[in-house]
Amino acid sequence: MEKKIRVGWFTFTCCEDSTVMFAELLNKHYKEWLPRLEFVHARILRAEKSTTIQPMDIAFVEGAISSDEQEAKLKIIRAQAKVLVAIGSCAVVGSPSNQRNFFNPEQLAEIKPILEKFKYKEKVLKLADVVTVDESVPGCPMNEQTFLAIMSKYLHA
Amino acid sequence: MHDSTFDIDLDRENYDIKLEEISKIEGAASLDIKIRNKKVEDLKFSINEWKRFYTQAIRGKPALAVPQLVSRICGTCSNAHLLASVKAVENALGIVPSAQTKLLRKLLYYGLIIRDHALHLYIFALPDLFGKSSILDFDENDPVQHELLDDTFTVKEAGNQLSIVSGGRSVHAPFVAVGGFLKLPSLEEIKKQKESLLSIRPKIVHLIDVFAKSPFKQEMKEPVSFTALKSEDFSFLDGQLCSTDGTCVPDSQFNNHLNAVIIPYSHARGFSFNGKLFMVGSVARLNLYKDALHAKTKETAAPYLARFPSNNLYDNNVAQAIEILHAIDASVELIDSCTELVPEAPIKVPPRAFKGTGVIEAPRGTLFYELETNEQGTVTKGEIIVPSGQNQILMERAIRELVEELVMQDTPKDAIIDQVERLIRAFDPCMSCASHFLKVKWR
């Protein structure tokens, strides 16, 4: 039996539309993918087996980075993953989750108490601002065809 | 991460439980429990999503552009945000959508109900019934488990395709706009959906039965009222707001009956309705107007409908499964009635200053939009109230009652965690929605 590819699916600040797209892509592809993939981390699919982030062949990461703790977690994911794939617009370019980066002073004054209380970062970052990104699937939600091409590339590597 | 840590140095009567990331729900939430002298001294259920400040971000944008932006509040129920905000703008501008637009919106929405409830029931909730960690762990050699695993993906796909065909995509449907559809679906494609919808019908009847036989039960000690938009055809998109406490209010007044409750440790706020503990969602809808379900659904699901009105929080799962059946039966009737799609562009009216409300039943309960614009049609103020925020206080109270009971019975800590997570899943909370933005004043 072929060795399973160890994958993780992680979500930072976003609407999780790409997680939904992935869950819907499983409808047609689960018979092909599930025997080949081991979900090491995927909160949507199962409770975590481990409290620390495990080594992975591929880490799929959706969402933008809003806090120092998110930034630290992303760095650990990067260190544990051979390949890191940025999933969807918020991960790839930061938008729309980074819309507060473009707020006017009046809007910023309104949200300031929340930013301070929960220790938000001053600016919302895209993944590439923090770590090296190997592959990107842009789109809001992620572009299905680009994602399928990346899956195919690594499943048949 | 599903980090469950205990302070093992403490005795059986004094310990802490910390769940840093609850699995198999939409979005991120955490739970902190402090047990002292065999009593729950402190319990905090917090929504951990980092806010994206949509209520702020829509200010200064043209009202017509708002629906496609707020759709990005939530990937799971994006089309609910889309249609609620469209309704707010249309109500304010006096736009009455055509019968064809209404039909297509219903099909788009029934696709969402099927897909979204199926995600929750099969992928999030079903593993609890089989003592599994994940649907992926279902035993392919066990005929029942094998069938349910296959059903998971077949059912979701039927709903997914119905939304794709009607709205251009099942997430953030691009065809939907204020006044109508930017692009019309193909009649042939719509007709084709009937077959796949009928093919999943028996699977859903089986699913209803599986959840109806669930041994899980949890009722609140104090009275809970249930609220929902009561519609004549159970369309989720129209109706009047009613509560099991006997109140019915016009949807524009909904906001006046909700009392926001600040939860200091959470990124989101909670609510009470008329000052009382309340719940929204599938169980609320069935408790209020199960008679409005499709005739075929009522016939098939009659033995299971007898339990409603129900105070068992786990019956939210049964109610969701019955709503999938309704979405199938209602969609098949709509598809049969659809003989042609006439070319029609979205209705347009000149911009003006307005204040409009749009309320619909999102998959998880009542979703409220209120938008105000200036004379150029630019948004000056917006208010969005999502179902999971409305359920948050009840959810925390229910968790506390469950934990108190389990602690008294000397339940092992890992069993407490399993049962608490299971109860949270019964609410099907959506954390992405709950954290879109909250107007919180910190003291």
* pLDDT tens sequence across B51-76: 888 989 999 999 999 999 999 999 99
Domain boundaries, chain A: 5-155
CATH number of the domain residue B237 falls in: 1.10.645.10
Please state whether beta strands B176-177 and A37-42 pair in parallel, antiparallel, or not at all (unpaired): unpaired
pLDDT of residue B19: 72
Does residue B44 register a pLDDT over 90? no
- Cα–Cα separations (whole angstroms), residue B181 to B63, B153, B164, B211, B346: 16, 29, 13, 37, 6
Test B52 with A46 for CB contact under 8 angstroms. no
Does residue B318 register a pLDDT over 50? yes
Residue B18 in contact with residue B32, Cβ under 8 Å?
yes
In a domain, B362, yes or no: yes
CA–CA min distance B114, chain A (Å): 12
Coil/strand/helix, residue B199: helix
Rounded (5°) CA angle B335-B341-B347: 115
For the record, the structure tokens of A40 come out as: 């090491």
Which of A16, A51, A115 would best serve as a mutation to test chain B binding (most B beta carbons within 10 A)?
A16
Domain of residue B71 covers 54-391
Residues in A touching B55 (Cβ below 8 Å): none
Does residue B437 register a pLDDT over 80? no
pLDDT band at A7 (very low <50, low <70, confident <90, very high): very high
Q: What is the pLDDT of residues A47-80, one digit of tens each?
A: 776 779 999 999 999 999 999 999 999 999 999 9
Q: What is the pLDDT of residues B352-363, one digit of tens each?
A: 999 999 999 999
In a domain, B164, yes or no: yes
Identify the weakest region by mean pLDDT among A72-81, B192-201, B399-408. Answer: B399-408
Instruction: Indicate the average pLDDT of chain A.
Output: 94
Test B72 with A44 for CB contact under 8 angstroms. no
The structural domain count of chain B equals 1
Q: What is the pLDDT of residues B335-353, one digit of tens each?
A: 999 999 999 999 999 999 9
Give percent of chain B above pLDDT 70: 92
- Looking at per-residue pLDDT, the higher value among A79 and B134 belongs to A79
**How many C-beta atoms surround the C-beta of residue B302 within 10 A?**
9
Interatomic CA distance for residues B159 and B291, integer angstroms: 24
In a domain, B41, yes or no: no
Tokens 């019908």, residue?
B201
In a domain, B1, yes or no: no
Test B50 with A66 for CB contact under 8 angstroms. yes
User: Whole-prediction pTM value?
Assistant: 0.94
Closest chain B residue to the Cα of A109, Cα to Cα:
B56
For the record, the structure tokens of A142 come out as: 């992620």
Test B52 with A97 for CB contact under 8 angstroms. yes
Residue A141 has its nearest CB partner, among B75, B119, B156, at B75
Long-range contact pairs involving B194-200 (C-beta distance under 8 Å, separation at least 24): B194/B332, B194/B335, B194/B336, B196/B157, B196/B158, B196/B161, B197/B158, B197/B162, B197/B328, B197/B331, B197/B332, B197/B335, B198/B328, B198/B332, B199/B154, B199/B158, B200/B114, B200/B151, B200/B154, B200/B155, B200/B158, B200/B328
Residue B110 in contact with residue B327, Cβ under 8 Å?
yes
Task: Select the highest-mean-pLDDT range: A94-98, B49-53, B388-392, B434-438.
Answer: A94-98
Residue A99 has its nearest CB partner, among B53, B153, B157, at B53
pLDDT of residue B220: 94
Q: What is the pLDDT of residues B365-398, one digit of tens each?
A: 999 999 999 999 999 999 898 898 889 889 989 9
Q: Does B306 touch chain A (CB under 8 A)?
A: no
Q: Does B61 touch chain A (CB under 8 A)?
A: no
CA–CA min distance A155, chain B (Å): 19
Q: Does B160 touch chain A (CB under 8 A)?
A: yes
Test B72 with A15 for CB contact under 8 angstroms. yes
Q: Does B162 touch chain A (CB under 8 A)?
A: no
pLDDT of residue B266: 63
Does residue B237 register a pLDDT over 50? yes
pLDDT of residue B251: 80
Residue B72 in contact with residue A96, Cβ under 8 Å?
yes
Residues 63-82 of chain B whose Cβ lies under 8 A from any Cβ of chain A: 69, 72-76, 78
In a domain, B26, yes or no: no
Residue A64 in contact with residue A91, Cβ under 8 Å?
yes
Coil/strand/helix, residue B170: coil
In a domain, B9, yes or no: no
Domain A5-155 carries which CATH code?
3.40.50.700
Read off the pLDDT of each residue in B402-410 and give the average, rounded to a whole number. Answer: 92
Q: What is the pLDDT of residues B200-220, one digit of tens each?
A: 999 999 999 999 999 999 999
Nearest CA among B78, B105, B373, B364 for reference residue B238: B105
Beta bridge partners of A42: A9
pLDDT of residue B439: 34
In a domain, B30, yes or no: no
Nearest CA among B299, B122, B140 for reference residue B204: B122
pLDDT band at B254 (very low <50, low <70, confident <90, very high): confident
Which of A9, A14, A24 would best serve as a mutation to test chain B binding (most B beta carbons within 10 A)?
A24
pLDDT of residue A1: 59
Length of chain A: 157
pLDDT of residue B299: 98
Beta bridge partners of A60: A9, A85
Angle between helices B99-118 and B143-167 in degrees, nearest 10: 150
Interatomic CA distance for residues B213 and B397, integer angstroms: 25
Interatomic CA distance for residues A105 and B11, integer angstroms: 52
